[in-house]
Structure 1
Amino acid sequence: MPLTIGRWRIDRHEGAIYLQRQPNPRCRECGGEGSVDSPLTEHDRIVEPCGCWDPFRSIRIRFSRTVVTERYPF
């Protein structure tokens, strides 16, 4: 279950914590939704991410490390 603090969303998944910045609620282009419609024609629309937010960028913090207990020869 994600936790949201301000513009930051915090998720825990598979031994790591992920921090992702959410859209700016005061953005004039998207109004805090994070996406901007780019109409091509009446029937086709392209939804693109707004410039105030990058949905593909996140910070990953690992909290479980693998400890090597045995030494192998070359």
Structure 2
Amino acid sequence: MNLKITFGRWTAELYQRAIHVTREPDPHCPNCAGSRGGWIPYGDDAEWDECPCLDQLRTWRLPLWPGARTTAEEPF
């Protein structure tokens, strides 16, 4: 079961082993207007560049580690 929560430009998805946090393009950006996934064309060829409204890393994965295991062993 996955849980997805959206806060403005941010989306957090909860999976069994990790939380994925993603930032979407700015819908008010004068360069890309939030369309095309934050990519803007440049030059005469069909070349694309990332819009400045996005960082190069726009998805973070936060692993969920299992809880600490307790042992019933004596310390000595």
TM-score (norm. length: structure 1): 0.64
Counterpart AA for 2:7: I
Q: Residue in 2 aligned with 1:48? A: 49
Query: In the comparison of the two structures, how many residue pairs are matched?
Result: 68
The answer for unaligned runs of 5 or more in structure 2 is 72-76
RMSD: 2.6
CA drift at 1:68: 5.6
Q: Residue in 2 aligned with 1:58? A: 59
The answer for unaligned runs of 5 or more in structure 1 is none
TM-score (norm. length: structure 2): 0.63
Equivalent residue of 1:20, what SS?
strand
Same amino acid, percent of matched pairs: 28
**d(CA) in 1 for partners of 2:49 and 2:10?**
21
> Is structure 2 residue 23 aligned with structure 1 residue 21?
yes
